[in-house]
Amino acid sequence: METMLDYINEEEVTLKNILDKFTLKKVSGFKKINNLLILATGSSYNACLAAKVTLEKFANISVTIEEPYNFNHYGRVSAAVDAVLAVSQSGKSASTIDAIAKLKKEGLFTLALTSDITSPIAGAVDEVIDLEMGIEKVGFVTKGYVTTVLQLFLLGLTIGHNKGTLTPKQADFYCDELDKVITAIPAVIAKTNDFFTLHEDIFKLGTRFVAIGYGPNWGTAKEFETKFTETVRKPSQGFELEAYMHGPYLEADSEHILFFIETKSVNEARSHALKSYMAPYVGKTLTITTQTTKAPEKLGLEIECDELVSCLALVIPFQILAYKIATAKGINLSQRIFDDFDRVLKSKV
């Protein structure tokens, strides 16, 4: 039976194939996009949040991300929005399908990003973007998450190219940065396995997990929250760096394990300051960073890359740790729970 680890181990090859086939092309409708509304939920939402900063820069657009169910019932589309992107790995998210169909009727240019180009969501939009990753059969998505992030980056490059705001030289630079990150994935997996072994005892005892990130890696922190909640099944939460300082820190105690997600950035010093302050009050502070480090409390991925693409690498340790910590705690992830949930709640079509 396939596990999360099987799909994590496929990530390098899958992403490499997508990047190698990528070419800048002209797409009707892309050059008119200035304000993009994205509809996504779950890990798809987290991937969009991680890609948002980069997508905006590459494409020279403004991006708004909405939860489709809430938007469908209470939201109002801004007059500035000129395109809508629905993101659904399975293509069967009922709320996303309903929302995108409604917006298409309003005359907006609609796109879908999905792994199933024959799915209901693909038939509801003007333009379909294939995730190019096949079908991920394990419910705790991993390969689908990083593939979504990469495809959103490439969508940004394509829109920027169509608008003429991104030069071929700039596109080549960022493609090289992406290639650097993707090539490093096997080493990231190996380093994370060693890091888990080093800290396995405290991970097994952990009852409250928190991740704190900034910039693109706010989305990484939110995906940590989703993956740990789904698998480790202990209270887990992901915060943007500054948001954590405005209240959430007050619950900290000796049972908390704090992960700090760091890249070279103007925000790095503030992350260090928060980590130093919180260390005496929590059970453990750990760092996942793109930089090189020998400190046992830090997992250094040793990837010199632009911060804009760092989230493609920094999420992978959390995917691995989610699986390994759950397994260490005796949780059998192959045993389905709440098996009738989708049928009863009608969350998928």
- Strand order through the sheet with 236-240: 236-240, 208-213, 256-262, 284-289, 298-300
> What average pLDDT does the segment 133-162 reach?
95
What is the identity of the amino acid at 280?
P
Residue 22 and residue 123 in contact, taking contact as beta carbons nearer than 8 Å: no
How far is the C-alpha of 158 from the C-alpha of 167, rounded, in Å? 11
Q: Residue 8 to residues 236, 264, 287, 320: CA-CA distances in angstroms? A: 21, 25, 21, 8
Judged against a pLDDT cut of 90, whether residue 210 lies above it is answered with yes
Helix axes 143-163, 43-59, angle to 10 degrees: 20
Which SS3 state, helix, strand or coil, does residue 276 take? helix
pLDDT band at 168; cut points 50, 70, 90: very high
In degrees and rounded to multiples of 5, residue 296 shows phi and psi of -65, -25
Spatial separation of the C-alpha atoms in residues 143 and 147, rounded to whole Å:
6
Q: What is the mean pLDDT of the chain?
A: 95
Q: Which amino acid is at 28?
A: S
CB-based contact 131:151 (threshold 8 Å): yes
Residue 347 pLDDT > 90, yes or no? Answer: no
Query: Tens digit of pLDDT for each residue in 221-234?
Result: 999 999 999 999 99
- Does the pLDDT at position 348 exceed 80? no
How many Å apart are CA 233 and CA 245, to the nearest integer? 25
What does pTM read for this prediction?
0.95
